[in-house]
Amino acid sequence: MTEIYKKYLKIQQEHVDAFVLMRLGDFYEIMGPKAQEAAPILDMTLTKRGVGVDEHGVPMIGFPSCTADVNIGKLLTVRDVVVDDGDGELKLIKQPEKAKPLNDHNSRAHALLSASSAARWLTCPPSAVAAEAYPNQDTDFTKEGTLAHEVAELFARHPDINTADLVAELGGADREMIDCAIEYRAYIEEQKKDNDALVLLEQRVDFSPWVPDGFGTCDCIIIQGDTLTIIDYKYGVGVAVSAKDNPQMKLYALGALNDYGIAYDVKKIEMHIFQPRINNVSADSLTVDELMAWAEKTVKPIAQKAAKGKGTYQPSEHCKFCPHAGKCRALTKLCTEYVETHSLRVAVPVLAPHEVAEVLAMEPSINLWLKRVKDQAMTTMMNGGEVPGWKIVEGRQGLRKWSDELKVVETLKAAGFNWEDFTKTELLSPAAMDKAIGKKKVAELLPDFIERATGAPVIAPESDKRPVFNRLAEAQKDFE
């Protein structure tokens, strides 16, 4: 490795969240992963600089020193800037104070073959290009998840942050979200095994040597000794996410290895899922050789097809995350052919148990298909298109609500009604109390006052981890 790049890496490690500008002659250069981030900000073409390790070099952009003021101003809209003029002293230029303390995660670019959708496009390569035809739709859940990541990043970056001072500034963050962010910060600290560990938060990584234009943003990267650790923060409560053989995590690890493997002798990869709202912590590990074999033999050939929209459409459990499902001919064929062939082979008017099992196995795919086709029809007609034989009508009217609550109160008081006649005070539910005062306080103060009804029996595949429903025990409860 060249002495210039060794020096550059040392400065970058000391200022992990800043852009580092190194003056070389009449030019300033930004090297490594931060160059990939800076290139679109400065509207510059990314190039490579040889650093004496291999023939590929590292990403780099450069600009004349006479344009430094303009370009530094652009960079400061995103991060602090550290300037090395070669005189032995570093100049740190801080970003202007911002009204909002959070980094805007919504403004990030998204790759066609993203790490977050890897499970889908690795299974069904053409789905990546097909999905690009549909606009991204924000839901309350995605907005909540984005805010939760912004809050988690804020707390992880500032170990001594004063929670009370920031609650009002966090734009919708409740007590539960803040508590989860504090737990995430503590989890990161637990994974650090020595004081020299390099910790990178919300770091963009590049896995384009295996996936065309592939990049993503890691929630947390820790490099210590010969181990590279990836931590992914999940705020959802619907499904417990596993780190075991997780392609999203493996692509993040691949990108981090690509960006930092030159400077560190990494031999082992650790991947962690931290999902605090449902107390799910999952981990997996593999060697660098195993990761590289997966990248070369599995990812690279599939990604080459996926980037061009080629390959075979393959309906699977991942269809529920695909916006193309409502127009997907492969999914339609799977569902309609099943119904048609099933009706042909029924010899008696009563389904046998094994046939019931087959129907249950197909139910998620068929339900998903019907829902997505219906959604697609709605979108088509709402945009002025036609679906032969169907039309849009007004559905059932919504619930009644007061148009002006203050006027309602004034009217009732004028009519002689007392305040208690038309208002009531209710205790928050346990779920609402979690958000109001935090799960920890609820668990500390109120555990003896929480009861939960037994879940209703539901059908699940044998692979489900929950125990078999005990009919006898539930029946006995009726006599207690």
Which residues of the chain carry a pLDDT beneath 50? 99-100
Tokens of 89: 């002293």
Instruction: Name the CA radius of gyration of the chain, rounded.
Output: 28
Which helix (H) or strand (E) is 287 found in, with range? Answer: strand 280-287
Q: Tell which residue, 146, 231, 254, has the closest CA to residue 184.
A: 231
Give the pTM: 0.73
Residue 456, domain extent: 403-480
**DSSP symbols for 58-94:** EEEEEEEGGGHHHHHHHHTTTS-EEEE-SSS-EEEEP
Look up the CATH number of the domain holding residue 139.
Answer: 3.90.320
Phi-psi region of 257 (alpha: psi -120 to 50; beta: other; left: phi over 0): alpha
Q: Are residues 282 and 148 in the same domain?
A: yes
- Residue 97: the pLDDT is 59
- Are residues 295 and 326 located together in one domain of the fold? no
- Specify if 393 maps to a domain: no
**pLDDT tens digits along 304-362:** 999 999 999 999 989 988 999 989 999 999 988 888 776 655 555 677 788 788 888 88
Specify whether 19 is located in the same domain as 44. Answer: yes
CA-to-CA distance for 311 and 129, rounded, in angstroms?
11
Asked whether residue 397 is domain-assigned, the answer is no
Q: What local confidence, expressed as pLDDT, does residue 468 receive?
A: 85
Specify the pLDDT at position 348: 58
> Are 294 and 364 in a shared domain?
no
Across 81-129, where does the E strand assignment appear? 81-84, 90-93
The total of structural domains in the chain comes to 4
pLDDT of residue 475: 59
Q: At residue 331, what is the residue type? A: L
What are the C-alpha distances in Å from 323 to residues 129, 376, 416?
A: 11, 10, 56
Is 389 inside a domain boundary?
Answer: no
Residue 386: strand, helix, or coil: coil
Q: Which amino acid is at 121?
A: W
Is there a single domain that holds both residue 128 and residue 204? yes
Residue 138 and residue 228 in one domain: yes
